[in-house]
A = this chain, B = another copy of it.
Amino acid sequence: MATLKEIAQAAGVSLTTVSNVVNGNYHRVSSDTVERIQSLIRQSGYVPNQAARSLAQRESRIIAVIVQAIENENIFRNPYTAEYVGALTVELYKNGYFPLIRYTDDYRDVEGDLRGWNVAGAIFSGAYSRHLKNIKSLTTMPTVFTDCYFRIPGINHVGVDDEAGGQMAAEYLAGMGHRRMAFVANSIEESEVDQHRLLGFRAELADRGITLPDQCVIPTPANIYNPQTLQELMRRDAPSAIFCTSDRVAAQLVQALHLLGYRVPEDVSVLGFDNLPLAELTHPPLSTLAQDINQKAKLVVDMLMRHIRQKDLPPERTLLGVWLVERSSVRRYEEG
């Protein structure tokens, strides 16, 4: 309820002085009055009004966190998104900023929110390039892109090495003796993340003289839930190992395979991606290509903070590594 003005009156000083104390500009105020004002602030339970601050400074303490979505789907049903946005939230609060979580497939909304709230910066996750092209504010505001391959000069970016991930998957599965494989994507059409994982996977297989036929690339998990399609894949191509672009898809695939009577990993091996908590809850627990989501979130937020504090910083790009975590969903392939 208390305002700067009221505190100023109570302390017998000017508004400016109180403002300086609140914002930590102690070199402009005598240590005497600093203490006096601070105790008044504590007593009165003063809380700065964020709207007024945003208005005067033309910048709020809000960071937009924007997630690619399909219409009004619940984005947090995707455990990767939940884990990642949760981690971003933690890091933002640590830095005194507030996340404004926006899911959308219509980036006109986004543009409006970014400007309407005078956000200090933005973090994009998983956005498709064709959408991002339409957002103008992006170049004028501190922004970090993640989980996407949108390329314009001067953009900050934190990614995981999806191609290397695909390559490691191929190395591992081929090394375990597998020769007939399949790949399940989230959305091979739209997601460049998926495309890069497939790219690395296919290239490394090719290097080893193994080809991944087109009909063994499942473009979206929706197909895998359809018993017909899955059964057909298993009968026709008889893959002994299936690499999935996420643990979520892998978990659902394991379930679908069970329903059709296939045992994992005795009949088919399944390899995931992300190393989410979910990977330990399936049966068998998922072998997977791990990424460090907490580290990613921290890097992203730190990078953003840097660019908010110093607006003319040159753009940065960081690529995070992935590594293999072996559990029990992949086994060595034995002929016959």
Contacts and interface: CB of A to CB of B under 8 A. Distances in A.
Interface of A: 1, 47-52, 54-55, 60, 72, 74-77, 79, 82-83, 85-87, 89-90, 93-94, 98-101, 103, 111-113, 115-118, 251-252, 254-255, 258, 277-278, 280-283, 285, 294
Grouping DSSP codes into helix (H, G, I), strand (E, B) and loop, the A interface class, with mixed when no group exceeds half, is helix
A100 B103 contact: no
Total copies of the chain: 2
A115 B74 contact: no
Contacts of A87: 74
A281 B280 contact: no
Nearest to A251: B281
B82 A76 contact: yes
Contacts of A103: 89
A111 B113 CA distance: 25
Contacts of A51: 50-52, 54-55, 60, 117-118
A124 to B, nearest CB: 17
Q: Which 6 A-B pairs have the closest CB atoms?
A: A76-B86, A283-B283, A51-B54, A76-B82, A74-B86, A82-B82
A189 B1 CA distance: 35
Contact of A49 (B75, B79, B118, B251): B118
A111 B46 CA distance: 11
Nearest to A115: B47
A100 to B, nearest CB: 6
Given A83-B76, A101-B89, A278 B278 contact: yes
Contacts of A86: 74-77, 82
Contact of A116 (B48, B113, B118): B48
